[in-house]
Amino acid sequence: MTETLQEIKREYEGEDNRPLASYTRVLAVYGGAVTVLLAAAKLTGREAPEKIKVMDLMLMGLFTHRLSRTLAKDPVTSPIRAPFTRYEGVSGPAELKEKVRGHGLQHAVGELLTCPFCLSQWVATGYAAGTVFFPRLTRLAGATMAAVAISDWLQFAYARLMKKAEE
């Protein structure tokens, strides 16, 4: 069995050294967290909403987008990423460019924490759990981050208009 896994790893990696075992650990943490949330819901008699309204889905999407980018790119959240990354510069307005460092679990966690697309699964899962356990607070948090996302887009639109006016 071990030889088969090593062969799969070699064939997958090619010339690159990928932390597959560490990715498996990260996946196990995610799976474990989901299992704990499901068990807690069952034990407390909580149920998922029967239907998710379009507006709730939009709120969840905006929340997930904004919080994922904040966690992965914002200068203020860089202390969370610092043990796993190295600062390389600015990548855009209020966003940092960081390089993942280390090997194994450090590298795998660094990849997760610097990738808003990767974090979105975790954030959306947390939001979904919030709708089961704390629906009012979760909606408030969702509305707050949705407002921040909309504000960001308006800031970009305004900056673009100002730049165009200067031309």
Q: Is residue 71 part of a domain?
A: yes
Q: What value does the mean pLDDT take over residues 81-110?
A: 96
**Tokens standing for residue 155:** 């800031």
Question: How far is it, in rounded angstroms, from Cα 120 to Cα 65?
Answer: 7
- Compute the average pLDDT of residues 76-82: 98
Average pLDDT, the chain: 94
How big is the chain, counted in residues? 167
Domain coverage including residue 137: 2-47+59-166
Say if CB 125 and CB 34 are below 8 A apart.
Answer: yes
Residue 53 maps to a domain: no
Query: Three-class SS of residue 97?
Result: strand
Residue-wise pLDDT tens digits, 31-47:
999 999 999 999 999 99
- Rounded to 5 degrees, φ, ψ at 90 are -100, 135
pLDDT of residue 38: 97
Which of 15-24, 47-56, 116-125: highest mean pLDDT?
116-125
24 lies in a domain?
Answer: yes
Q: Which residues lie closer than 8 Å to 150 by C-beta, 6 or more apart?
A: 62
Q: How far is CA 50 from the centre of its chain?
A: 26
Establish if 117 belongs to a structural domain.
yes
Inside any domain, residue 110: yes
Ranges of H-type helices in the chain? 2-13, 20-44, 54-73, 78-81, 104-113, 116-133, 135-166
- Examine residue 115 and state whether it is found in any structural domain, yes or no: yes
pLDDT at 52 over 90: yes
Q: Which residue has the higher pLDDT, 58 or 15?
A: 58
- Whole-structure pTM value: 0.88
Does pLDDT of 1 surpass 70?
no
Is 80 exceeded by the pLDDT of residue 5?
no
CB of 30 closer than 8 Å to CB of 122: yes
Q: Flag whether 133 is in a domain.
A: yes
**What average pLDDT does this structure show over 135-153?**
96
DSSP state of 91: E
Query: Residue 137: inside a domain, yes or no?
Result: yes
Interacting residues of 70 by C-beta distance below 8 A, sequence separation 6+ = 77
pLDDT at 10 (0 to 100): 78
Chain CA centroid to CA 122, Å: 5
- Phi first, then psi: what are they for 16, rounded to 5°? -90, 155
For 17-37, what is the mean pLDDT?
94
Question: How many structural domains compose the chain?
Answer: 1
